[in-house]
Structures are given as C-alpha cells and as structure tokens.
Structure 1
Amino acid sequence: MEDINNKQDLMRTIQVKFPRLSKGQKLIAEYILKHYDKAAFMTAAKLGISVGVSESTVVRFANELGFSGYPKLQKALQELIKNKLTTVQRIELSNDFVSEESALKGVLKSDMENIRATLEKINHKTFEDVINGIFSAKKIYIIGLRSSTALAEFLGFYLSLILENVKVVGYGVSDIFEQIINIHEDDLVIGIGFPRYAARTIESLDFAQSRGAKVVALTDSLLSPLAARADYTLIAQSNMASFVDSLVAPLSVINALIIAVGLREKEKISTTFANLESIWEEYQVYSFKESD
C-alpha cells in the first residue's frame, strides 16, 4: 500500500475504508479529503490538533490505510500535491512551515535533508552513464526553464570551459524549438526541471526523443514528466513547503557532474584556466589587487 502515488488511489482508499474507521479517524479522513494540500505539510500532532483528536489517533489512521507510519502517509500526500500547488498556496503553506524567526534554521535544515535524501536516492551507475554520455555526444544541449534556468546556466557555464560542444537553451530572441532544431541522434540533451515542471522543457524532451537523441533528466522523482521522457534520470530531492524552490540538492548533483567531467580532462582544464587567468588579469575581469 505504501507505493500509492496518485490522488485517485489514495483518496479512493480513504473513501473505501471510511465506514470502518473510528469516530476520530473519520474526522481525519474528512479533513484530508477536503484539505489534503494543507495536511501534506502537517505533523501528526498538528493534524490531530486541527481536527480535535490525539496524535496517536492520527498514527493509527495511517496504519489503517496500510502505511507503516504517519511519515509514509505524509510523503504520499506530498507526492500528490507538489506539482499542483500554486504560488499562492505555497505562500500560505510556508507560513506554517517556518516562522520569520526560525526561517534560517528551518530552511537550512530542510536543504540538509534534501541533500541527504539525494545521496541515498541517486543511482551511481546512472551517474557514470551520464558522464560517459557527455563525452560520447557530438553536441550537448542543456535546457532548464523558469526557476531551473539558474541551474542550466551554471552547468552550461562550467561545462563550456571544459568542452567545446555545449549549448544552453533558454528564452531569448529565438524560440526554444528554433534553438534545438538541429538536434540529431548523436547528441545529448540534459533537461532540468522540478515542480512545478515547465511545459516547454517537457515538450523539448519530447522533440529530442523524436529526433533520436539521448535524453538525461535531472529532476525530483522517477514519476516526474521529465523522467518519463529520459534515457537516464538523476534524482535530486527538492522538497520545500514554500514559494521558493529548493535547488540546493540539484545544484550539488550538478557540481558533482562538473567535477566528474573535469577529472577526465585534467590537462585540458589546467591549460584552459592558465590562459583564462592571463586574460582575466589583462582585462581586469576580477579584482587582482591584494588587500592591505
């Protein structure tokens, strides 16, 4: 039962079980059916307070649905709504997630958890396959839109210093499809996207697959629409009950990709950066003045 991953299945299960639930558990069921978007980010204790039952009743309710504990039910609820929350709903939830006084600690703790979970979930063999794919590709296209633009630009910036066949696709004078019109089967497309997934990124991966190109997705789940269109999927957890997307774990995975590619091109990188240092100093790109 713990692999429930869509609204219809979970809500249907609650409805089917409803007649056999205790009075307190029925109150929980009614609340979740009406407000599952809010319940997804409540602790068992807070959910209990909201409906007027004990925390243990909430735990028993989760068990009654077939979950080993309340955290499993909560995770299932979060999977349902993470791509459906509007920005306004995220703002409302963030008020419950952290107070202004605890924002620093709460957000940093959440990001630490995202990195920890990513380390557990990411497939090391897939990571190696992606690195091999980068080196075997004739051209590498990187596409990440909306909040993922920063990730795509960062990855593109550093890969372009190491490799000569990297193109970052983004909004600009040309339409997205005009920038990827020449994709063919020898190319690699890296798509980056997290809830709420940008429709144009998904469409671009569809186009890439239709042209026979290899597709890599950096996304939050194997259930992601990007993963459904990818040959290789790198999972990076991005949970954040806020209007701000948590991109810390995805950026960490991107750092690992850049370092792994760089390790295979040590000599080239040394030469490139030696040349860049001379250029930077000549044209004063950075401040080279020593501090007093």
Structure 2
Amino acid sequence: MSDTSPAARLQQLFEGQRLTPTQRRIAHCMVRHSGDVAFLSSVELAELAGVSQPSVTRFAVALGFDGYPALRRHLREVAPVAEPGVRETEFNEYQQAVHAEIENLRHLAEMLADPAPVERAGRLLAASRALPVLGLRAASSQARGFAYFAAKVHPDVRLIDEGGSMVADRIDAARRAGASALLCFALPRHPREVIEALDHARSRGLTVVTVADSAFAPVGAHSDLLIPAAVGTGLAFDTACAPMLLGRVLLEAMCDDLPEAQARLEEFDARAAERGLFAD
C-alpha cells in the first residue's frame, strides 16, 4: 500500500462495494481530488460532488465507518499526503481546467503501472476478426479517433457512432463477420442506449471492453473489462484528454498482438507517398 498513489488507495477502498449512483458520484469525486480529500469537510466534499451533505455521511456509513469524520481519519492514515500549499482557487477557471486534466493524466499513468488490463484488452481486440467500436453522443469523437487509426492495422474495423435501432443490427452484422469483442467508449452523460447496446453485444457472445470515465460508471456492470480514465468537469463541457490517450494506449496494445500491423503501416505509408497524400 505504501508504494501506491492516494488515488489508487481510494480505488482499492471502493472496490467490491455496492454503491448507489449518488455514492458512485461521491467516490468518483474523491478519486479525482485524491490529493485534497483527506482535508475536506463533509460539506466541502458534498459541494465538490454536487450532492447533499447527508449523502456524504450515508456514503461513509456504507463503506463501514461510523461517519464521515471516521472515513477522513482513515484516509489520513492510509493515504497520507502533504497538506496542499497552493489551492485550486488561486488559479483562474481556465488554468484549473488544465491542472485538473494534468491530474487525470497523472492518475492514468499510475494506473498503467499495472499493464495487465490493457494488455488483455489488446489481445481481445486483436483477436476479433471484425472489430465494432461503439461511442455515442459525447463519446463519438473518441470512438471515431480510435477507429480511424485502428483501420490502418486491423482488417475490419466497424465504427458505430450513431444511435437508433440500427445499432443492434450493426452489432449482429459484426458478429456474423467473426467479431468476438466490442470496444466501447462511454463518457458522461451515459446514454441508456449504450447500456442496451452493450447488453445486446454480450447476449450475442461478444466480450465487451469499455473505456469509461470512472470504474463506477453505469456501464461497468455491462462490461467484461472496464478501464477507467477520468474526464475533466471544470468547464461548461467535459474535457476528455485521459480517455483519448487511453484509446491510443489500447491501439498500441492491439498492434502488439497483430502480427501484420507493422507491414500494414508500411504499406499505407508507401501508398500515401505515391498519392502525395500529405504535405509533410
């Protein structure tokens, strides 16, 4: 425990707990503010998470503590950090958003110290003869970016970035073409049809690999392997630097298990040069 980050220790505290949606929101907030949470009052944590103060108290009790003060004492014991000298409020709102994303990337780097989940995901994606990539609404750009690059090394990538009744049809078509896995990007707010699509994919025998904003996201119970990457919430619209980077990491892991990946990239580069496709 002494070698893990405060964020990782918080994740361990929450693992295996049956939390309500409100409690998952509090847990997610605590992980995002892992460097400060041991010094926050229940009122301050409630304000950060956008919940009521009694909800924070009930959350602490659900984790097995007598109340929030006992939870905070526990955090100071198992996840000690130096009391912050510079608070976020000393930065303007734009700087705060950037610093929050830097912290999200730092958490992602700490999580990747154990590469096993990403390596497992890479094997699953590489082995899928057809590879459906799902991302709706806020997550559509993440799915589209992954699919764009994946198509350069994988022989059959199938982007699903528009909702509606055709989603199930396209999943079925991918399954008939030999798909054994589906990659999903799921970001707030989580559309119900994403959960329905994941359930449909699993009912068809596909293994669902999901990149989500939190281990406590609603899609977690509908995925076989979920890898979290937090989003920034300091601006009017969420920022998703960490999920985007995690998508590139998954691409790298998939390439490692595709024996023809390098040859396909070299072939693409040769054809691009012949066509004068790029200016540089």
Deviation at 1:272, TM superposition (A): 1.6
Q: Which residue of 1 aligns with 2:133?
A: 142
Q: Does 1:248 align with 2:262?
A: no
Deviation at 1:145, TM superposition (A): 0.9
Q: Which residue of 2 aligns with 1:63?
A: 69
CA RMSD of aligned residues (A): 3.4
Larger Rg: 1
Q: Secondary structure at the match of 1:68?
A: helix
Q: Which residue of 2 aligns with 1:162?
A: 153
Q: Which region of structure 1 is more displaced relative to structure 2, 125-134 or 216-225?
A: 216-225
Q: Secondary structure at the match of 2:172?
A: coil
CA distance in 1, matches of 2:234, 2:102: 15
Deviation at 1:140, TM superposition (A): 0.5
Flag structure 1 segments of 5+ consecutive residues without an equivalent: 11-27, 48-60, 73-96
Deviation at 1:246, TM superposition (A): 2.2
Q: Secondary structure at the match of 1:181?
A: helix
Q: 1:197 aligns with which of 190, 193, 208?
A: 190
Q: How many residues align?
A: 220
Matching residue's letter, 1:191? C
Flag structure 2 segments of 5+ consecutive residues without an equivalent: 1-9, 25-40, 54-66, 79-87
CA distance in 2, matches of 1:65, 1:173: 44
Q: Which residue of 1 aligns with 2:143?
A: 152
Matching residue's letter, 2:134? I
Whether the aligned pair in 2 keeps the contact of 1:137 and 1:187 (CA below 8 Å) is yes
Whether the aligned pair in 2 keeps the contact of 1:216 and 1:230 (CA below 8 Å) is yes
Q: Does 1:229 align with 2:215?
A: no
98 and 252 in structure 1: CA distance in 2 versus 1, 3 angstrom threshold? farther
Q: Which residue of 2 aligns with 1:206?
A: 199
CA distance in 1, matches of 2:48, 2:248: 34
Q: 1:111 aligns with which of 84, 90, 101?
A: 101
Q: Which residue of 2 aligns with 1:271?
A: 267
> Structure 1 length normalisation: TM-score?
0.64
* Identity between Structure 1 and Structure 2 (%): 18
Q: Which residue of 1 aligns with 2:57?
A: none
259 and 64 in structure 1: CA distance in 2 versus 1, 3 angstrom threshold? closer
Q: Secondary structure at the match of 1:180?
A: helix
Whether the aligned pair in 1 keeps the contact of 2:210 and 2:225 (CA below 8 Å) is yes
Whether the aligned pair in 2 keeps the contact of 1:237 and 1:249 (CA below 8 Å) is yes
Deviation at 1:113, TM superposition (A): 0.3
Whether the aligned pair in 2 keeps the contact of 1:209 and 1:215 (CA below 8 Å) is yes
Higher relative contact order, chain-length normalized (CA < 8 Å, sep 6+): 2
Deviation at 1:177, TM superposition (A): 2.2
Q: Which residue of 2 aligns with 1:130?
A: 121
Matching residue's letter, 1:182? A
